[in-house]
Structure 1
Amino acid sequence: MRPPAFWSAPKAGVLSGLLTPLSWLWRAGGAARRARITPFRPDIPVLCVGNAVLGGAGKTPVALSLAEALIQDGHRPHFLTRGYGGSAQGPHAVDLETDTAATVGDEALLLARTAPVWVAKDRAQGARAAQAAGASHIVMDDGFQNPGVAKTVSILVVDAQSGFGNGRIFPAGPLREPAAAALDRAGIVVVMGPFDAPVPPGIDAAGKAVVRASVVAAAPPLPPGTPCLAFAGIGRPEKFFATAEAIGLKLLRRRAFPDHHPYSEEDLRRLIQDARSRGARLITTEKDAVRVPPRYADDVTALPIVLEWQGGRSLYSVLKSVCPDVV
């Protein structure tokens, strides 16, 4: 799904107003779900990385960074994810040799490069499986609004530029729940984006520990000045395009697809033909690359990214200061 323009408008417009009654139903449904479910409480810490909006706030890079820091500190974290876009119901331990994005989703494949991953539509079952398999910590990629598992610490990721959009709940706006409710449950807030961008409204007033991060290219996969056709099917493709340009790549064309778009062979044939006609290379995100049909993998260059933490103050260092008993 591509987010409609009115979701990011500074003020709610006519269409948002017309959809507001449906947002009341969405909110009521979420409240009813939370009321009827008793969360499973694992015997190990559960660190949930999520967001308050639909779309790309940057939670997966944050979850990866957190797991990497835990591993460096001698822990054995396991990821828990729903496996959006995949067919596996779970609990299913992701196997990079046999699983594909069609079975476990693109995010699960990325996470599995760093630590064991459990895909489970029922998060409580997934948490039980991770605990039984010897995990020291569970890192939930998404699930901020899911009541199935009790969280030790909830980490809210907010995009610095889009913030909470027009402040309305889906479908009148991008919010999964009221921003105030999400901030109230958050132990730490990660603001993703340019360090000079103002903190989105409401965060400072919430009195939470705030850490800022920005996405940067890990290592330029192509020389600066290389003509490229960039394509991406993520929540905010423009963020990827900006990252590619920041390392000096010359983007002759930008192609945005819906988030989690399952690339067909026809998609790739057209992209390859377009790139060749322009004398350009195809470049995309690591998340998109795992959805490219295998026979076309050599025709596409993935741009690896890492997080840069403002002032060297990482999420993990803040977590250790705020919740020393957890890590």
Structure 2
Amino acid sequence: MIERIWSGRSPLWLLLWPFSLLYGLVSGLIRLSYRRGWRRSWRAPLPVVVVGNLTAGGNGKTPVVIWLVQALQQRGLRPGVVSRGYGGKAEHYPLLVDHTTTALQAGDEPVLIAQRTGVPVAVAPKRREAVEALIAHHPVDLIITDDGLQHYALQRDIEIVVIDGVRRFGNGWWLPAGPMRERADRLASVDGIIVNGGIANAGEIAMSLQPAQAMNMQSGARCALAELTHVVAVAGIGHPPRFFATLKQQGLTPEAEIAFADHHAYSEAELQALTTARQTLLMTEKDAVKCRAFARDNWWYLPVDAELQGAALEPLLMQIVQRCAEQSGAGNKRTQ
């Protein structure tokens, strides 16, 4: 239903329109208060790169963060990642993610990023605290924030927006009548626009999610997706239809497709009840980080990797590298 409202296919968005005006007014005032200095923002001693979006729902930010970390590592930089840690409930903040940290503590996305990249990851509702914890405990050259485009309390050097290329901006209205956190004209002030799926416009960076081999959650064995039989597909991500569409594009037609809310906290009994002994449970990698502790031998997940291309890609990376070089040079002068 919400997809129909946000796309404009349902007239119910008109009933929510007054609330959207209020949302837009409040969010606009918040941003203005930081720009005018009425509220104080904090500048980190290292360059900060924000990977965020303008809309609610899954656009593919986390795969972009993983790709960006790896791309910058190849250029000799040492990134650290900070996150709000949505869905996690740590005993204390900031929380530095390590091999013992669970998704229940940190949230699924920070744990996934740490496992895939091996870089330092810190979680805190106040991102300044996460940044300070990273700098205090790890030799990092820059900070990448997973989400946080609207977190203006933290100043940033580079802003990257990820867009769902199929859904784009729906009816264009603020929440709750539409999907927008900020209006589309905000794109004029960002440094990079990455379009996940669909068709990228001029100046945008095209992105696709490429599936790897399926991995068994208990044994770590790998196999081609086509080798899995009697599949029940599960997705608790921002936009589950994208995962189901990916399976079909790879020639796999699940016997059932079950969508859960983003960041859903799975239980062992809940997932066991979804399949019979002859069926295979297949989920996203983001879901898998929450379920490994109680996985069964017929549970698998599908890793995906972001592939980016476009004329604007290399200049964006060079802008980040140059900003790090400038910051490093300024730091050296201060210590002399």
Q: Does TM-score exceed 0.5, indicating one fold?
A: yes
Give the structure 2 partner of residue 86 of structure 1.
88
Could you tell me whether the CA contact under 8 Å between 2:199 and 2:206 is conserved in 1? no
Decide which moves more: 293-302 or 260-269: 293-302
Q: Give the TM-score taking structure 1 as reference length.
A: 0.87
The answer to whether 1:119 aligns with 2:158 is no
- For residue 76 of structure 2, the aligned residue among 56, 74, 77 is 74
Q: Does 1:110 align with 2:104?
A: no
**1:172 deviation in Å?**
0.5
Following TM superposition, by how much is the alpha carbon of 1:75 offset from its aligned partner in structure 2, in angstroms? 1.3
CA apart distance, 1:322: 4.3
> Are 1:48 and 1:141, in contact at CA under 8 Å, matched by a contact in 2?
yes
Q: Give the conservation status (yes or no) of the 8 Å contact 1:77–1:138.
A: yes
Match of 1:304 in 2: 303
Give the Å deviation of 1:297.
5.0
**Helix, strand or coil at the partner of 2:301:** strand
Question: Distance in 1 between the 2:84 and 2:240 partners?
Answer: 22
Contact 1:191 1:210 in 2 (8 A): yes
CA positional deviation for 1:318: 3.3
Provide the secondary structure at the position in 1 that maps to 2:274.
helix
Q: State how 1:86-235 maps to structure 2 within 5 Å.
A: 86-88=88-90, 90-97=93-100, 99-113=101-115, 114=117, 115-133=119-137, 134-181=139-186, 183-193=187-197, 197-199=198-200, 209-220=203-214, 221-223=222-224, 224-227=226-229, 228-235=231-238
1:147 maps to a residue whose letter is Y
Identity %, equivalent residues: 37
Q: What is the match of residue 251 of structure 1?
A: 254
Q: CA deviation at 1:158?
A: 0.3
Shift of 1:185: 2.9
Q: 1:103 and 1:37 mapped to 2: Cα distance?
A: 30
Q: 2:56 aligns to what?
A: 54
Contact preservation (8 Å) 1:226, 1:280? no
Distance 2:55 2:205 in 1: 19
Structure 1 residues 249 and 152 mapped into 2: Cα distance closer, same or farther (>3 Å)? same
Do the aligned partners of 2:85 and 2:109 also contact (CA within 8 Å) in 1? Answer: yes
Question: Matched residue of 2:143: which SS?
Answer: strand
Amino acid at match of 2:58: G
- TM-score w.r.t. the length of structure 2 is 0.84
- Gaps spanning 5+ residues in structure 1: where? none
Q: C-alpha root-mean-square deviation of aligned residues, in Å? A: 2.1
Letter in 2 for 1:163: R
1:3-42 alignment, distance < 5 Å: 3-9=2-8, 13-34=10-31, 35=33, 36-42=38-44
Count of residue correspondences: 306
**Partner Cα distance (1:293, 1:37) in 2:** 43
Q: Which runs of 5+ in 2 are unaligned?
A: 215-221, 325-336
